[in-house]
Structure 1
Amino acid sequence: MPDIQQQADEKVFAGRALVAGFATGSIVFSDTALSFWGGVDSRTGEVIDRHHPLSTQVLTGKILAIPGGRGSCTGSSVLMELIMNGHAPAGIVVSRQEEILSLGVIVADEVFGRSIPVVQLSEDDFAELHSIPEVTLIGDKIIASRIETAPGFDAADRTYGNSIALTSRDWSALNGEMGKAVQVAMRATTRMAEIQGATELIDISQVHIDGCIYTGPTSLEFAKRMRDWEGRVVVPTTLNSISVDQMRWREQGVSPDVAGPASELGEAYASMGARKTFTCAPYQLSSAPRQGEQVAWAESNAVVFANSVLGARTAKYPDYLDLCIALTGRAPLTGPHIADNRRASLVVNVSGFVSRDDMVYPILGYHIGKLVGDEIPVVIGLETWKPNLDDLKAFGAGFATTSGSPMFHIVGVTPEAYSLESIVGSKIKASYEICPKDIVADWRKLNGSSVDAIEFVALGNPHFSFDECERLAALCEGLAKHPDVKVLVTCNRATFDRASAANLVGKLSDFGVEFVTDACWCTLAEPVIPKSVDTIITNSAKFAHYGPGLTGKALRFGSLADCVAAACQGELKPVCPTWD
Structure 2
Amino acid sequence: MAHSIVPASTKAPLLVCDEGLSVWGGVDPATGVIIDALHPQQGKTLAGHAVMMPTSRGSCTGSGVLLGLAFAGTAPRALIFRESEDILTLGVLVANRMFGHDMAVLRLSDDEYDRVAQQNSVEITPRLLTAGSIELSLSPVASDALALSDDDRATLDGQHGPARQLAMEILTTMASAQGAPRLTDVTRVHIDGCIYASPAFLTFARKMADLGGKVCVPTTMNAISVDHANWRAQGVPESFGTPASQLADAYVEMGAKPSFTCAPYLLDNQPKHGEDIAWAESNAVIYANSVLGARTIKHADFMDLCIALTGRAALTGVYLQENRAPRRVIDVVVPNEIDDAFWPMLGWLVGQAAPDRIPLIRGLENTSPSEDDLKALCAAYGTTSASPLLHIAGITPEADLPPAPEADHVSIVAADFARLWAEFNKGADTVDLVALGSPHFSARECAQFADLMDDREVNPRITTIITLGRSTLATVRENGVEKRLHTSGVRIVPDLCWCSISEPVFPPDAKVLMTNSGKYAHYAPGLSNREVRFGSLAQCAETAVTGKAPSMPPNWIPALPRNNPT
- Whether the 8 Å contact between 1:347 and 1:428 is mirrored in structure 2 is no
Aligned to 2:281: 299
Aligned match of 1:203 in 156, 165, 185?
A: 185
Aligned to 1:180: 162
- Whether the 8 Å contact between 1:24 and 1:146 is mirrored in structure 2 is no
TM-aligned CA distance change 1:75 to 1:159, over 3 Å: closer
Aligned to 1:309: 291
Aligned match of 2:461 in 476, 484, 492?
A: 484
Aligned to 2:409: 431
Aligned to 2:32: 45
Aligned match of 2:343 in 361, 376, 380?
A: 361
TM-aligned CA distance change 1:34 to 1:140, over 3 Å: farther
Task: Indicate yes or no: 2:487 matched with 1:510.
Answer: yes
The within-5 A match list for 1:490-501 is 490-501=467-478
Q: TM-score scaled to structure 1, two decimals?
A: 0.93
Q: What amino acid sits opposite 1:486 in the alignment?
A: T
C-alpha distance in 2 between matches for 1:218 and 1:139: 26
- Whether the 8 Å contact between 1:210 and 1:240 is mirrored in structure 2 is yes
Aligned match of 1:415 in 366, 372, 397?
A: 397
Q: What amino acid sits opposite 1:439 in the alignment?
A: F
C-alpha distance in 1 between matches for 2:420 and 2:39: 14
Aligned to 1:569: 546
C-alpha distance in 2 between matches for 1:399 and 1:178: 39
Aligned to 2:532: 555
Is there any run of 5+ residues in structure 2 with no aligned partner, and where? Answer: 558-566
C-alpha distance in 1 between matches for 2:214 and 2:408: 45
String of CA shifts for 1:463-496, please: whole Å, max 9, x gaps. 0000001100110001122100000000000100
The within-5 A match list for 1:365-404 is 365-404=347-386
Q: Give the secondary structure class of the aligned counterpart of 1:462.
A: coil
- Whether the 8 Å contact between 1:15 and 1:141 is mirrored in structure 2 is no
Is there any run of 5+ residues in structure 1 with no aligned partner, and where? Answer: 1-13, 148-152
Aligned to 1:546: 523
Deviation at 1:160, TM superposition (A): 9.1
Q: Give the secondary structure class of the aligned counterpart of 2:14.
A: strand
Aligned to 1:9: none
Greater shift after overlay, 87-96 or 483-492?
A: 87-96
Aligned to 2:61: 74
Aligned to 2:420: 442
Q: What amino acid sits opposite 1:56 in the alignment?
A: G
Aligned to 1:84: 71
Aligned to 1:17: 4
C-alpha distance in 2 between matches for 1:574 and 1:370: 26
- Whether the 8 Å contact between 1:179 and 1:230 is mirrored in structure 2 is yes
C-alpha distance in 1 between matches for 2:473 and 2:404: 45
C-alpha distance in 2 between matches for 1:443 and 1:113: 45
Count of residue correspondences = 556
- Whether the 8 Å contact between 2:142 and 2:176 is mirrored in structure 1 is no
String of CA shifts for 1:125-156, please: whole Å, max 9, x gaps. 22233431111122253211499xxxxx9x9x
Aligned match of 1:216 in 198, 220, 223?
A: 198
String of CA shifts for 1:38-68, please: whole Å, max 9, x gaps. 0011121111111111112121111111111
Deviation at 1:391, TM superposition (A): 0.2
CA RMSD, aligned part only? 1.9
Aligned match of 2:230 in 230, 243, 248?
A: 248
- Whether the 8 Å contact between 1:173 and 1:183 is mirrored in structure 2 is yes
- Whether the 8 Å contact between 1:29 and 1:129 is mirrored in structure 2 is no
Greater shift after overlay, 525-534 or 511-520?
A: 525-534
String of CA shifts for 1:511-570, please: whole Å, max 9, x gaps. 011011110001112111222111000000111111011111111111111111111111
C-alpha distance in 2 between matches for 1:492 and 1:141: 49
Q: What amino acid sits opposite 2:122 in the alignment?
A: V
The within-5 A match list for 1:218-237 is 218-237=200-219
User: Which 4+ runs in 1 deviate beyond 6 A?
Assistant: none
- Whether the 8 Å contact between 1:119 and 1:140 is mirrored in structure 2 is no
Aligned match of 2:259 in 252, 266, 277?
A: 277
Q: What amino acid sits opposite 2:501 in the alignment?
A: L
